[in-house]
């Protein structure tokens, strides 16, 4: 696991569950710090995936952030109150546009 002594003073909601976050870090880092390593399932086979490269090259860290799918969580900085959900299979664009 990857851990740290100072969890940070921001709060994100991961699938409804509050997790702490530090100013200036990426969403992926905050999730990893909370022990969350699987962020999505693939549209090809439904296999679970999570961050791999942490630099925006692998596209495995995709999640739904504040209602928008296919977000590369390693490239997005945390904001207090941000809502994150796992992306299950192909991005559900229809519900994003009607929701």
Partner 1 sequence: MRVDLAIIGAGPAGIAAATEARAHGFSVLVLDENPGPGGRVWQAIETRPLHGDDDRVALETVRAFRASGAEARFGATVWCVEPEGRVYWSEGGRARSADAAWVLIATGTTERPLPIPGWTLPGVLTVGAAQIALKTAGLVPSGDVWLAGQGPLLLLYAAQALAAGGRIAGVLDLTDGGSLRRALPHLPRALRAPSYLARGVAWRLALRRAGVPWIRASQLRAEGEGRLERIRFLADGTVQVRPASLLLLHDGVIPSVQITRALGCAHVWDEVQHCWKPLTDIWGRTSLERISVAGDGAGIGGARVAELSGRIAALDIAAALGRLSTAARDRAAAPLLAARERHLAVRPFLDALFSPLPIDPADETILCRCEEVTAGRVREAVSLGCLGANQVKAFTRAGMGACQGRMCGPVVAAVIAAARGVAPRDIEPYRLRFPTKPLTLGELAALHAQPTAVEPQSS
Partner 2 sequence: MLERAIVIGGGLHGLSTALHLARSGWSVTVLERRHVGRHSSGINAGGVRRLGRDVREIALAQVAHEMWRNLRALVGDDGGFRPSGQVKVAENETELTALEHRAAELRALGWTHEEVVDRAETRRLLPAIAPHVVGALVVRDDGAADPMRTVMAFRHAVLASGVAIEEGASVLALERTAGGNLRVVADRGSWEATRVANCAGAWAPAIARSVGETIRCGVKASMMIVTERLPRFVEPTVSTVARPLSFKQTAAGTVLIGGGHQGRADPATETAVVDVRNLARAAGIATELFPLMRGVRILRSWCGIEARTPDDLPVIGESTTCPGLVHSFGYSGHGFQLAPAAGAAVAEIMMRGRTNLPVAPFAPARLIERSAA
Q: Summarize as ranges the residues that interact with partner 1 (CB under 8 A).
A: 1-4, 6, 22, 24-26, 29-30, 32-33, 37-39, 42, 44-45, 47-60, 70, 74-75, 77
- Edge to edge, what strands does the sheet with 87-88 contain? 48-49, 40-41, 87-88
Q: How far is the CB of 63 from partner 1 (least distance, A)?
A: 12
Q: At 40, is the secondary structure helix, strand, or coil?
A: strand
Contact between 97 and partner 2 (CB under 8 A)?
Answer: yes
Helix (H/G/I), strand (E/B), else coil: 84? strand
State yes or no: residue 66 binds partner 2 (CB under 8 A). Answer: no
């Amino acid at each position: 696991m990857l851990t740290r002594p100072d969890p940070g003073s921001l709060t994100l909601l991961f699938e409804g569950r509050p997790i702490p976050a530090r100013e200036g870090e990426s969403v992926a880092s905050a999730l990893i710090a909370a022990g969350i390593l699987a962020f999505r399932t693939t549209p090809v086979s439904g296999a679970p995936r999570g961050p791999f490269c942490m630099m925006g090259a692998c596209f495995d860290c995709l999640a739904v952030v504040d209602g928008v799918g296919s977000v590369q969580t390693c490239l997005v900085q945390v904001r207090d109150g941000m809502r994150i959900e796992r992306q299950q299979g192909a991005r559900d664009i229809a519900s994003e546009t009607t929701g």
